Amino acid sequence: MRVHIATDHAGLELSDYLVKHLTAKGYEMVNHGPKAYDAEDDYPAFCINAAKAVVADQRAGVDALGIVLGGSGNGEQIAANKVEGIRAALAWNLDTAKLAREHNNANVIAVGGRQHTVEEAAELIEAFLAEPFSEAERHVRRIGKIATYETTGEVID
Nearest to 7 by CA among 28, 40, 24, 31: 31
Q: How far does Cα 6 stand from its chain's mean position? A: 9
Distance CA 10, CA 28 (A): 23
CA distance 64 to 49: 14
Of the candidates 104, 91, 99, the one whose C-alpha atom is nearest the C-alpha of residue 146 is 104
Question: Of 4, 9, 32, 76, which one is the catalytic site residue?
Answer: 76
Residue 4 annotated to the active site: no
Residues 6+ apart with CB under 8 A from 54: 4, 64, 65, 66, 86, 107, 108
Residue 111, phi then psi, degrees to nearest 5: -135, 140
Residue of 103, 123, 126, 150 marked catalytic:
103
C-beta separation of 107 from 59 below 8 A:
no
- Is 13 among the residues known to form the active site? no
Catalytic residues: 76, 103
